[in-house]
Amino acid sequence: MTDMMQRDTSTDAAERPSGPVAAAFYAAGIGALVLGILTTLAEASTGIKDALQLTDPVGPLAGKTIGAVAAWLVSWALLRTAFRGKDPDLSKVFIWTAVLVGVGILLTFPTFFQMFAPEE
């Protein structure tokens, strides 16, 4: 019975396309980028900041994170469908994901986004 339950995982990994993995990584990068963009836009525009303020105790952070999570989920679903059965070069996927996450993180630093704040 144990022979029936064991399977050769070395051939499974070789046969599975890496498209779903690529979709998950790209979606994570897109989510991080959207969070950074929303953070910078909220600092640059009081209208956007007010629109992102879904609840008073949390402030615009609620809208920023909900927007980023929504972008992540939607992009993951779309990219998973687009990459289904495909086998993209994962080294390029990882590089582009790192770029997206890096830019997203940069956009969340106060030193950066305060450059776009309206002068008081």
Residue pLDDT tens, the chain, 120 long: 555 555 555 555 567 899 999 999 999 999 999 999 999 999 999 999 999 999 999 999 999 999 999 999 999 999 999 999 999 999 999 999 999 999 999 999 988 888 887 776
Residue 37: closest CA among 89, 111, 100: 100
25 is a domain residue: no
67 is a domain residue: yes
Contact 9, 76 (CB under 8 A): no
pLDDT of residue 100: 98
41 is a domain residue: yes
Chain Cα centroid distance, residue 50: 23
1 is a domain residue: no
pLDDT of residue 11: 53
| Tokens standing for residue 79 | 């990219």
DSSP class of residue 87 equals: -
Number of domains the chain contains: 1
6 is a domain residue: no
pLDDT of residue 117: 78
29 is a domain residue: no
49 is a domain residue: yes
